[in-house]
Structure 1
Amino acid sequence: MTGQTDSSQPTTPTLAQLTTVGVGGAVDRFVEAQSEEEFIAAVRGADAEGLPLLVIGGGSNLLADDEPFHGVVVRDARRGISVLDDDAHAGVDAGAVSIVAQAGVNWDDFVAFCVDSGFSGVEGLSGVPGTVGASVVQNIGAYGQEVASSVSSVRVFDRESKRVSQLDRNDMHFGYRSSALKSSMYTAPATPADSYFPTPRYVVLSVTFTLQRNETNEVAFGQLAKALGVEMGERMPIADIRQAVLKVRAAKGMLEDMSRYLSPWMRGCKNFHIVTDVLSAGKLASHDRFTNVSGEAGFHQDFDRHSCGSFFMNPILDAAQAAALPEDAPRFDAVLPDGQPGIKTSAAWLIDHAGFHKSYQLHDGASAGLSTLHTLALTNRGGAKASDIAELARVIQDGVEAKFGVRLVPEPVVVGMDLR
């Protein structure tokens, strides 16, 4: 399906209507593919015409320019999840289960399915916005879990060879918020590649996960243990872990505004009963209709929710860079991109200690500002443009670099603007 069939609606959405931050310009062509064949054909067609291609999932990890996107935006409408017959899949450990999810499946829908089915391993990633396809590009992680630890293979369309292929977990080269897919988009941090940007060389078609048949799991993150009132390492029902994660994310303003799924351009992208579940875990108590950040009816106005989520990645530093930080700066063992040992520090800590506190705005009444709950979220307070979000990001990057000598790298895909 291309566009919408309702004659009262425009034939294409704006990127503001497709993204959680609610900014972005018009789109020349929008394709919502109902089958794998249609999805691949849309990707092939854009490449054959030499047009910019943006494969979009939930729009949560994207900051797009205010100018029109003169290319093709493709969204995968396939939302199937299948539990495989383990006996037919050699190498699956006893007690494990293999699950295939199509790329267009809403990520939190997938987590809810797994928790409801008694499959453990992704419950800590509850409430993360986006889709299954995007989850492996970004290697999402939270509360002691990373998607990489559950992925066994990824079925992709290779835009270079024009063929469908399968990448196993080793082929994916997962790292902190990175993968082989994401790496194909950049020549350096925040520096887009000429060939494959803003969509990777390998377009995800489906992902096979290996989880455990277990309705309990260890609590592997201190903040989560505190929320559950247990000790680190203690086992808890995965349903309880999921609910605790949703509540912790809600307290930080890190749950997307579920009422965005009332929009004609987003309706059907997420299971509605899960929308209701997440609303009940967060601040929003109903599906009240207000004016959203883009000026449309149908969105609840909650300034802290209209963001790209965590905007900057936690920096991984070498020994010399880490030694230059203040003694009280957070330090965690990590691995540098070249495979050498490194030290990861907290972007939120750097931002706060550089003088950019919760609710920071460039000026009174600014339409963009830091979340009132979390310094890592740059929010659209209502009526912001992409340029407003980008200006705020640059000021924070410059301020942190001047204070600590560390240049923060954006986590979202930034289209049409330079935030190096």
Structure 2
Amino acid sequence: MTDSSLTPDIHARLAQTADVTLDEATTFADLTTLHLGGRPRLVVRCATAAAVSEVVRLLDAASVPLLVVAGGSNLVVADGDLDLVVVLLENDQVTMDAAGRVVAGAGAEWDAVVAAAVDAGLGGIECLSGIPGSAGATPVQNVGAYGAEIADVLVQVLLLDRTTGEVSWVPAVDLDLAYRYSNLKFTSRGVVLAIELQLTTDGLSAPLRFGELARRLGATSGEERWPVADVRAAVLELRHGKGMVVVESDHDTWSAGSFFTNPVVDPSVADAVQLLVRESRGDEDADRMPRFPAPGGEKLSAAWLIERAGFTRGYPGEGAPARLSTKHTLALTNRGSATTADLVALAREVRDGVREVFGVTLVPEPVWIGVSID
């Protein structure tokens, strides 16, 4: 494949940029937790925020298509050759102080940031333990789990504005953070270079508002705070049990994490879903249906809907190259030999099955590159 935009001159200028390494062998299957995706034109490894900024400015000025990648935990990438350059964030410096201020480079492994904060007795992100990916990705989709989300502690992000080429600290309030959303998501307007968090310093967790985690720890109210190390250990145990902590030898973790977001629907839709379950599965199951108040309506559980639509753990069964996790129906997994096409077909089947049964359309959480569920 040829692309006149990536000229020998541009290639040479990239090679001469400080703190940059050019890599022509790595594929998206090497860069993503799904272990899927084809070959980019080039991978440009950037060890500093300055290198990231310089590379992105250079490629943008030359109109070279690019994709910024760090942990690769939230990407579904097409098979085959892809006409784009990967800018790989490897700026992984992390600093923290006694006042609870944490600054992490966008390329830092997120769980390493959480572990360091917990070791320092800082609280606020322990419920986000075990989430794969990088620190820079956390504000883009407002990462959250077990009743906490990055919006709770995010102060600001160091952002490269691709329109102007300027780098500045942008307050969290300007990102429109909401459930699994920021105004950076699904856009290419900016590149997160670093994040700043404000954590608590008393060694205690964020309030334990999520039932499963609270029950595991023995909390009896929604505002209890526990030692951060205890909460981190409990979260990791829960996530391991669902295949939601990356273990390379375990194909249940070859996934993009929770594949569909929990849908927010009008209360009348939630009522209709509950009635369908009551008629088909009985009062006991219907009364247990998860439904919680949320901005814009009520939030339902995507995993719960998937299971009641007839999809079981491990679906469609042994031998299928792409399957639902054997531990958790919300994760779509590569069993070692899948293609992206296999995964997309399974995603469509699950989405369409839930819509057919309940009239609710599940929305994928990952970013799609060169391929679509539609």
Deviation at 1:84, TM superposition (A): 5.1
1:2 matches 2:21: yes
Deviation at 1:326, TM superposition (A): 1.9
AA paired with 1:377? A
For 2:59 and 2:364, the matched residues in 1 are separated by 27
AA paired with 1:310? S
1:211 matches 2:199: yes
Partner of 1:220: 209
Deviation at 1:166, TM superposition (A): 2.1
Percent identity reads 45
Partner of 2:81: 68
1:303 matches 2:251: yes
- Structure 2 unaligned segments of length 5 or more: list them: 1-19, 276-285
For 1:165 and 1:143, the matched residues in 2 are separated by 31
For 2:318 and 2:49, the matched residues in 1 are separated by 48
For 1:330 and 1:118, the matched residues in 2 are separated by 33
Contact preservation (8 Å) 2:49, 2:105: no
Moved more, 127-136 or 200-209: 200-209
Deviation at 1:382, TM superposition (A): 1.6
* Selected match of 1:57 from 50, 56, 70: 70
For 1:230 and 1:162, the matched residues in 2 are separated by 48
Partner of 2:231: 241
For 2:96 and 2:255, the matched residues in 1 are separated by 33
Partner of 2:14: none
Partner of 1:274: none
Partner of 1:139: 142
AA paired with 2:140? V
Residue pairs, 1:12-31, within 5 angstroms: 12-31=25-44
For 2:312 and 2:58, the matched residues in 1 are separated by 46
3-state DSSP class of the match of 1:171? Answer: helix
1:202 matches 2:215: no
3-state DSSP class of the match of 1:234? Answer: coil
TM-score (norm 2): 0.88
Partner of 1:397: 351
Deviation at 1:364, TM superposition (A): 5.1
Contact preservation (8 Å) 1:12, 1:28: no
TM-score (norm 1): 0.78
1:416 matches 2:370: yes
AA paired with 2:114? V
Partner of 1:192: none
AA paired with 1:356? F
Contact preservation (8 Å) 1:46, 1:71: no
Partner of 1:316: 264
AA paired with 2:370? G
AA paired with 1:400? V
Deviation at 1:67, TM superposition (A): 2.1
Partner of 1:284: none
1:171 matches 2:174: yes
Judging changes above 3 Å, is the alpha-carbon distance between structure 1 residues 98 and 143 closer, same or farther for their aligned structure 2 residues? same
Moved more, 66-75 or 238-247: 66-75
Counting matched residue pairs gives 341
For 1:374 and 1:113, the matched residues in 2 are separated by 28
3-state DSSP class of the match of 1:120? Answer: coil
AA paired with 2:313? K
Deviation at 1:333, TM superposition (A): 0.6
Deviation at 1:3, TM superposition (A): 3.5
1:252 matches 2:242: yes
Q: Deviations over 1:246-300 (max 9, x none)?
A: 000000111012x4xxxxxxxxxxxxxxxxxxxxxxxxxxxxxxxxxxxxxxxx2
Contact preservation (8 Å) 1:84, 1:100: no
AA paired with 2:291? R
For 2:274 and 2:241, the matched residues in 1 are separated by 28
Q: Deviations over 1:105-124 (max 9, x none)?
A: 11101101110111100000
Q: Deviations over 1:126-177 (max 9, x none)?
A: 0001111000001000012100010011110000111112211210110000
Partner of 2:313: 358
Q: Deviations over 1:77-108 (max 9, x none)?
A: 111112358xxxxxxxxxx5222111111110
Partner of 1:407: 361
For 1:235 and 1:150, the matched residues in 2 are separated by 16
- Structure 1 unaligned segments of length 5 or more: list them: 5-10, 86-95, 186-195, 260-299, 337-341
Judging changes above 3 Å, is the alpha-carbon distance between structure 1 residues 84 and 227 closer, same or farther for their aligned structure 2 residues? closer
AA paired with 1:224? L
For 2:176 and 2:86, the matched residues in 1 are separated by 27
1:344 matches 2:299: yes
For 1:111 and 1:76, the matched residues in 2 are separated by 19
For 1:235 and 1:24, the matched residues in 2 are separated by 42
RMSD (Å), alpha carbons:
1.5
